[in-house]
């Protein structure tokens, strides 16, 4: 039996997001929602993956309007909850992110404001956009698993940098630090050989980047899949081959200005499906900034799967 549908906004707050900034912002958000006449209920995440479970539980209880307070990791978990639940079609769920993470890359696609007064105006206007969602099949500890993603997945250098940064005593908290660390790790990274299947083709090479995107931004504002369109029914694919380490540094501006595909050793494509196999050993995978597994990996697309509130 499906419970009575509620118009109340179901807030999933990650108090650890933004290096603890979210905890302070939650009180401000609640006050602003009260003043604006919104009814809401709050639940807080306790550990990684908890937001997904909270979404599934909330939808079972009748909530159809979801707010996430957090960053790209929280956003990914909430999207997985919306896609994994089987109670109602995903188009029945309205989702809104209040971005308080470190990178906030998915929010950049829609120019969702971090300023509370502007964000409340957006929520009141209730303008919605329905975007595609990616589904990736991968392996972890020898077992196959799946994960949905709403933004960008990366292989080769991306997950290498994330893994190295997780070893740091102090977390990376801004774009400049991320860029500087990324440039430093270029000299430690060894290109990995992979076989990429898409559009009936097979490309085998040593890769610096393998990125698959629904939206454009990742890594704190980089545009590694600048040709991504979130509702065109296609996966955006970027393949960067044997770039020299100096070549990477000299062309780092291309990561941000959308011209990465203009480099002669970088190719961009659109495809319905992408499969990546390692040739010389497993290659790690990250989705929406979260390390999740390794090759063999296969990406597919679910069109028009996520209804989001946008400016």
User: Could you report the per-residue pLDDT of 35-49, keeping only the tens digit for each?
Assistant: 999 999 999 999 999
179 and 228 assigned to the same domain: yes
The answer to the question of residue 97 being in a domain is yes
236 and 148 assigned to the same domain: yes
* Residue-level pLDDT at 17: 85
* Domain end call among 87, 103, 126: 126
pLDDT band at 57 (very low <50, low <70, confident <90, very high): very high
**CA–CA dist 209, 242 (Å, integer):** 10
| CATH assignment of the domain containing 53 | 3.40.50.10330
> What's the length of the chain?
311
pLDDT band at 300 (very low <50, low <70, confident <90, very high): very high
**CA–CA dist 16, 44 (Å, integer):** 10
Q: Centre a 10 Å sphere on the Cβ of residue 226 and count the other Cβ atoms it contains.
A: 21
pLDDT band at 16 (very low <50, low <70, confident <90, very high): confident
* Domain end call among 95, 126, 157: 126
Tokens of 178: 């991320």
Give the domain range for residue 173. 133-303
* Residue-level pLDDT at 168: 80
| Average model confidence (pLDDT) across the chain | 93
120 and 137 assigned to the same domain: no
With b for 16 or more beta-carbon neighbours within 10 A and e for fewer, the 67-100 pattern comes to: bbbbbbbbbbbbbbbbbebeeeebeebbbbbbbb
Q: Domains in the chain: how many in total?
A: 2
| CATH assignment of the domain containing 215 | 2.60.200.40
pLDDT band at 20 (very low <50, low <70, confident <90, very high): confident
285 and 169 assigned to the same domain: yes
The answer to the question of residue 102 being in a domain is yes
What pairs with residue 236 in β-bridges? Answer: 213, 270
pLDDT, one tens digit per residue, over 239-295 is 999 988 999 989 989 999 999 999 999 999 999 999 999 999 999 999 999 999 999
Interval 22-47 mean pLDDT = 94
* Residue-level pLDDT at 191: 93
* Domain end call among 126, 152, 177: 126
More confident residue, 249 or 233: 233
Distance of CA 1 to the CA centre of its chain: 33
With b for 16 or more beta-carbon neighbours within 10 A and e for fewer, the 238-272 pattern comes to: bbbbebeeeebeebeebbbeeebbeeeebebbbbe
- pTM beyond cutoff 0.85: yes
Residue 167, classed as helix, strand or coil, is: coil
pLDDT > 60? residue 65: yes
Tokens of 105: 């890359």
The answer to the question of residue 37 being in a domain is yes
SS3 content of the chain, % helix, strand, coil (to 5): 30, 35, 30
85 and 155 assigned to the same domain: no
* Residue-level pLDDT at 6: 74
The answer to the question of residue 310 being in a domain is no
């Amino acid at each position: 039996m499906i419970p009575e549908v509620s118009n109340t906004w179901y807030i999933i707050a990650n108090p650890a997001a933004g290096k603890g900034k979210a905890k302070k912002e939650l009180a401000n958000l609640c006050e602003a929602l009260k003043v604006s006449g919104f009814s809401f209920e709050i639940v807080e995440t306790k550990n990684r993956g908890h937001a997904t479970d909270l979404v599934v539980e909330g939808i079972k209880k009748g909530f159809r309007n979801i707010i996430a307070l957090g960053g790209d990791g929280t956003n990914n978990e909430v999207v997985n909850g919306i896609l994994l639940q089987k109670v109602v079609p995903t188009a029945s769920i309205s989702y809104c992110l209040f971005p308080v993470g470190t990178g906030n890359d998915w929010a950049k696609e829609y120019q969702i404001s971090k300023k509370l007064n502007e964000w409340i105006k957006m929520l009141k206007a209730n303008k919605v956009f329905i975007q595609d969602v990616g589904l990736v099949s991968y392996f972890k500890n020898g077992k196959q698993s799946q994960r949905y993603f709403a933004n960008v997945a990366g292989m080769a250098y991306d997950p290498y940098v994330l893994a190295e940064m997780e070893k740091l005593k102090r977390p990376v908290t801004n774009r400049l630090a991320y860029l500087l660390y990324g440039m430093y790790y270029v000299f430690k990274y060894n290109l990995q050989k992979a076989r990429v299947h898409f559009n009936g083709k097979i490309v085998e090479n040593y890769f610096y980047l393998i990125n698959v995107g629904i939206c454009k931004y990742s890594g704190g504002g980089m545009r590694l899949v600048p040709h991504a369109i979130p509702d065109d029914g296609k996966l955006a694919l970027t393949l960067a081959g044997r770039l020299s380490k100096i070549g990477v540094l000299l062309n780092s501006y291309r990561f941000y200005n959308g011209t990465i595909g203009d480099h002669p050793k970088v190719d961009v494509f659109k495809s319905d499906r992408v499969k990546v196999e390692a040739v010389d050993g497993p290659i790690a995978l990250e989705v929406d900034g979260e390390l999740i597994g390794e090759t063999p990996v296969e990406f597919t697309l679910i069109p028009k799967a996520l209804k989001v509130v946008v400016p």
